[in-house]
Structure 1
Amino acid sequence: MAEKGKSHCLVLCYPTQGHINPLLQFCKRLHHKGLHVTLVTTKFMHKNLHVTTAAAASAAIAVDTISDGYDDGGRQLAESTDAYFDRFWRVGPETLTQLIQKLSETGRPVDCIVYDSFLPWALDVAKELGLVGAAFLTQSCAVDGVYYHVHRGLLRVPVSESEISLPGCPPFEPSDLPSFVHDTVSYPAFIKMLVHQFSNVEKADWVLCNTYYELEEEVAKWMMTILPLRTIGPTIPSMYLDKRLEGDTQYGFSLFKPHSEACLKWLDSRRKGSVTYVSFGSIAAVEAEQIEELARGLKRSNCNFLWVVRTSEEHKLPKGFVDDTRSSDKGLVVSWCPQLEVLANDAVGCFVTHCGWNSTLEALSLGVPMVAIPQWSDQSTNAKYVVDVWKVGLKPPKDEKGIVSGEDVEICVKEIIEGERGKEMKMNAIKWSALAKKAVSEGGSSDQNIDEFIANLGSP
């Protein structure tokens, strides 16, 4: 039976690694503050998650599943992205309702659904069942603001203006906008989904965003005038921030097995600030030519580097590169690594990143300057902020094919590791890191917002 007096939050994730991570961390915060929490993902995603050795902090969080209609293969089994979304949007609400009914029958009635905003139908389920409904925005306030404007017809796509002005944001060029807005032809299914996340948001009791107020103050302030928005991030393991959740050093669930011991041992043998860490996340498929240029630039820089190249991407590396790297002892190439532990290591002085929002928040929280090489989705907008707003990184130019040259990779890496501008970026990164820690500490802006959310989990 559910403990009397404790609210029960069901937290629904969109089924990718980058969405499970922040929502799982939010679950840990809610549980630490006394709530019952059930994390929900799809059956296929749940079958493929590895539980890491440091998952003790999430052990008390129940995990359950719904169906996306493709239980044996997920999105890869669907005929198209459109077909996946159509089926998930039909099957998801039905199985979510069934799960909530099951939980009620077993003595664990749900009071609130916190849902990934990519799945707006979950709010309809919440309202039909008389539950509190809270949208959870896994991307930045700035990116969400762009999609909101597209949804309302205030920003027309494809974008024709050479400069775009949006409330609370710096002036954007079209290429600074999310790729789904800038290039609607290549991503019709995704732009439909991302804009549709705001289709019923006015019915939400809460809108929670994975950022911290001080980081995006102007755009967050504007969004609070139109939505019941609260910033509750950064949602990264507590031991890297306020240390209130003892043992919380990893997210807890992963689709990939990291080479933790090899990575950390290698880093510990390098001098402080000398290593460039390179990773493009769990989804982005980087062009073979770009990987070749990255390899050339890293080699030319003569800096130590740790490079994550997923198994599915390894064939794109130049022939003999891994062996040459190993023999020179200048670098280490692995298929996956414990990114937080790597970024927190004193040896790391630079992060070459695709600027996914999780990676960007982790680097900011741990005080690591970045070389921004965005690939798609929200990454160009995040890169714009990294370089021009937060001033914690460099963005090398791309050629007409969208490729960053090895020479420019070399220039940016050396500038951050060895140059004067790199020192300034490091100082700025340390400032944002301090503010991130303050935001989630007791009484900080994000902590207060989570307390307010919990205090108001009565009847919707």
Structure 2
Amino acid sequence: MNTSNGKATRERHVAVFAFPFSSHPPLLLTLVRRLATALPNVVFSFFNTKKSNQTLFSELSCDNILPYDVWDGIPDDYVLVGKPQEDINIFLGVAEEELRRGVKLAEEDIGMKVSCLVVDAFFWFSADMADEMNISWVSFWTAGACSLSAHFYTDLIREKSAQLKGSTGPDDEISDLIPGFSVARLCDLPGGVVFGNLESPFSTMLHKMGRNLGRATAVPINSFQGLDPDITKNLSSKFKLFLNIGPFNLLSKEKSQLKSSDEFSCISWLENQKPRSVAYISFGTVCKLPPHEVLALAEALEHTKTPFLWSINNDSKKHFPKGFLEKISDNGMGKVVPWAPQVQVLEHFAIGVFVTHCGWNSVLESIGAGVPMICRPVFGDQQINTWMVERVWRIGVRIEGGSFTSHGTCCALQQVLSNESSKTLKERIETFKDVAQKAVELNGSSNQNFKTLVDVVTGVSL
């Protein structure tokens, strides 16, 4: 545990609970760093697992952010067997007890009672903790308003889908299924709403989260006003404070995106490509395509002669067509790397399309760079994000049939890179790019909403 220096200068103590998986911790830390900069006399105790904290704070030094380790629930002699969400479910079994214990230790360590909880929205039980402590509860949603709405209205959606059972299929468009949506499809809802194992610890957590969010003092999200006006209007009527405070990728360029970190020379390769000609391909650090889809995507790129930059783990390269890597190396058509500085890549003039799993961070980064998308969603909020990208915002296309085939991928590449429709996609995403950039300007809506959040954290009467 850490000890703080200069305790006499501390005016308030804010406890932060990170959900230690995927992109959740770095996004929450980005928010806390902004708060810590705006509030130098407030100390933030940041609770996270040891493994995640070591990654986050290896190069970060901030006087008023103090990392505290909580147990991940996995005994030293336990071996994970690879069940779906196994590590998450184990952590959820100990999370509340660990966080309660951690808060008590931090209060003793820092010498101040916690005056506000800033938490990943997944930690629904922290609403009860805030009530017991008689303090503000800030529940941060790392993704978009579309997925948040699906979880908030889970009970309503289940009720409506039960009434429609037998008359409506999962692929059918349903009017007024979710407030704020003109139409939606059951198949595009995040797992745990109507499909999947609804009794799993993860699904139960999401359901309880949706039921408890209305208790939050504020619900900030990593998005921007103007992207989802109808959903924002609806959720603003349900929450005490619903605050679009992003997109984070436009507010702060993280160290990982600096030019000096381009260890695989992606940018220098892009410099030799024609404007808006290159397909950038990445499915994040968690999603992994089935072997036959890796093969089909590679075949489509080769068949259409589309220049490409593909970020893919080394293990998946064995699924490429025979001689594929040698051929693209010889003709310079493509570049395959294990990692790419994504924000920097997307902002390059050579990129014409982003082939993506449609995770929320990737969607925001594509919008921020004005690059249309080809979407192949895998799990979580990616299906509903894809629905928004293709059908609501109309800034990209879903891969035909939901998975990569050689023919379907060829059609998608042509549609986004060379058809007349590509012009419309590019014009629309440029419009959203402008709205996003205006939101993060000094007097923009996201910065104004952030000031409101600062008032919540400091206890200023609103």
TM-score class, shorter-chain normalisation, is: 0.7 to 0.9
Q: Using the alignment, how far apart are the partners of 1:363 and 1:312 within structure 2?
A: 26
Relative to structure 1, the CA distance from residue 260 to residue 196 in structure 2 (aligned partners, 3 Å threshold; closer, same or farther) is farther
Amino acid corresponding to residue 425 of structure 1 in structure 2: L
Contact 1:70 1:78 in 2 (8 A): no
- 1:359 alignment partner, one of 354, 358, 362: 362
Q: Using the alignment, how far apart are the partners of 2:119 and 2:153 within structure 1?
A: 21
- Across the aligned residues of Structure 1 and Structure 2, the Cα RMSD in angstroms comes to 3.1
Q: Using the alignment, how far apart are the partners of 1:333 and 1:3 within structure 2?
A: 53
TM-superposition CA deviations, 1:422-446 (whole Å, max 9, x none):
2221121121111112212222222
1:155 shift after superposition: 4.4
TM-superposition CA deviations, 1:340-383 (whole Å, max 9, x none):
11111121111011111111111112211111111122111111
Amino acid corresponding to residue 405 of structure 1 in structure 2: T
Q: Using the alignment, how far apart are the partners of 1:336 and 1:435 within structure 2?
A: 29
Does residue 395 of structure 2 align to residue 387 of structure 1?
A: no
Gaps of at least 5 residues in structure 1 are 242-247
- 2:25 alignment partner, one of 9, 20, 24: 20
- Residue 67 of structure 2 corresponds to 63
- Residue 139 of structure 1 corresponds to 143
Q: How does 1:394-409 map to 2 (within 5 A)?
A: 394-398=397-401, 402-409=402-409
SS in 1 for 2:173: coil
SS in 1 for 2:344: helix
1:71 shift after superposition: 7.0
SS in 2 for 1:384: helix
Q: Using the alignment, how far apart are the partners of 2:201 and 2:93 within structure 1?
A: 16
Contact 1:352 1:372 in 2 (8 A): yes
SS in 1 for 2:454: helix
- Residue 334 of structure 1 corresponds to 337
Does residue 47 of structure 2 align to residue 40 of structure 1?
A: yes
Amino acid corresponding to residue 418 of structure 2 in structure 1: E
Q: Using the alignment, how far apart are the partners of 1:163 and 1:310 within structure 2?
A: 36
TM-superposition CA deviations, 1:25-48 (whole Å, max 9, x none):
212321232254344321232345
- 1:130 alignment partner, one of 115, 131, 134: 134
SS in 1 for 2:237: coil
SS in 2 for 1:200: helix
Contact 1:7 1:111 in 2 (8 A): yes
Contact 1:275 1:349 in 2 (8 A): yes
1:338 shift after superposition: 1.3
- 1:119 alignment partner, one of 120, 123, 135: 123
Does residue 441 of structure 2 align to residue 455 of structure 1?
A: no
Relative to structure 1, the CA distance from residue 282 to residue 29 in structure 2 (aligned partners, 3 Å threshold; closer, same or farther) is same
- Residue 10 of structure 1 corresponds to 15
1:171 shift after superposition: 0.9
Contact 1:51 1:252 in 2 (8 A): no
TM-score normalised to the size of structure 2? 0.85
Relative to structure 1, the CA distance from residue 43 to residue 51 in structure 2 (aligned partners, 3 Å threshold; closer, same or farther) is closer
Q: Using the alignment, how far apart are the partners of 2:99 and 2:301 within structure 1?
A: 47
Q: How does 1:174-189 map to 2 (within 5 A)?
A: 174-181=186-193, 183-185=195-197, 188-189=200-201
- Residue 218 of structure 2 corresponds to 206
Q: Using the alignment, how far apart are the partners of 1:371 and 1:455 within structure 2?
A: 40
TM-superposition CA deviations, 1:90-130 (whole Å, max 9, x none):
42223222332233223363322211112212333333333
Q: Using the alignment, how far apart are the partners of 1:34 and 1:87 within structure 2?
A: 35
Amino acid corresponding to residue 435 of structure 2 in structure 1: L
- Residue 412 of structure 1 corresponds to 412
Amino acid corresponding to residue 384 of structure 1 in structure 2: W
TM-score normalised to the size of structure 1? 0.86
SS in 1 for 2:184: coil
- Residue 224 of structure 1 corresponds to 236
Q: Using the alignment, how far apart are the partners of 2:346 and 2:244 within structure 1?
A: 22
Contact 2:152 2:211 in 1 (8 A): no
Q: Using the alignment, how far apart are the partners of 2:417 and 2:57 within structure 1?
A: 34
Q: Using the alignment, how far apart are the partners of 1:78 and 1:159 within structure 2?
A: 39
Does residue 168 of structure 2 align to residue 163 of structure 1?
A: no
After alignment, is 155-164 or 133-142 more displaced?
A: 155-164
After alignment, is 264-273 or 344-353 more displaced?
A: 264-273
TM-superposition CA deviations, 1:313-359 (whole Å, max 9, x none):
33333333222222221111111211111111121111011111111
Q: How does 1:420-459 map to 2 (within 5 A)?
A: 420-457=420-457, 458=459
How many residues are paired up? 442
SS in 1 for 2:48: strand
- Residue 290 of structure 2 corresponds to 287
Query: Which one has more relative contact order, counting CA pairs under 8 Å at least 6 apart?
Result: 1
- Residue 191 of structure 1 corresponds to 203
Relative to structure 1, the CA distance from residue 454 to residue 192 in structure 2 (aligned partners, 3 Å threshold; closer, same or farther) is same
Relative to structure 1, the CA distance from residue 236 to residue 321 in structure 2 (aligned partners, 3 Å threshold; closer, same or farther) is farther
Contact 1:290 1:404 in 2 (8 A): yes
1:268 shift after superposition: 2.0
Q: Using the alignment, how far apart are the partners of 2:350 and 2:230 within structure 1?
A: 34
1:211 shift after superposition: 1.4
1:82 shift after superposition: 7.2
User: Which of the two has higher C-alpha Rg?
Assistant: 2
1:223 shift after superposition: 1.0
Q: What percentage of aligned pairs have identical amino acids?
A: 26
Q: Using the alignment, how far apart are the partners of 1:287 and 1:182 within structure 2?
A: 25
- Residue 244 of structure 1 corresponds to none
Q: Using the alignment, how far apart are the partners of 2:98 and 2:288 within structure 1?
A: 32
Contact 1:210 1:235 in 2 (8 A): yes
Relative to structure 1, the CA distance from residue 83 to residue 336 in structure 2 (aligned partners, 3 Å threshold; closer, same or farther) is closer
1:89 shift after superposition: 3.3
- 2:108 alignment partner, one of 105, 108, 119: 105
1:134 shift after superposition: 1.1
After alignment, is 428-437 or 304-313 more displaced?
A: 304-313
Relative to structure 1, the CA distance from residue 198 to residue 273 in structure 2 (aligned partners, 3 Å threshold; closer, same or farther) is same
TM-superposition CA deviations, 1:165-223 (whole Å, max 9, x none):
22111311222222444532599554333222224323322222221121111011101
Contact 1:131 1:459 in 2 (8 A): no
Q: Using the alignment, how far apart are the partners of 1:72 and 1:224 within structure 2?
A: 45
1:61 shift after superposition: 4.0
TM-superposition CA deviations, 1:214-264 (whole Å, max 9, x none):
111101110111122423332424xx45xxxxxx422669xxx97544212
Does residue 401 of structure 2 align to residue 375 of structure 1?
A: no
Contact 2:282 2:311 in 1 (8 A): yes
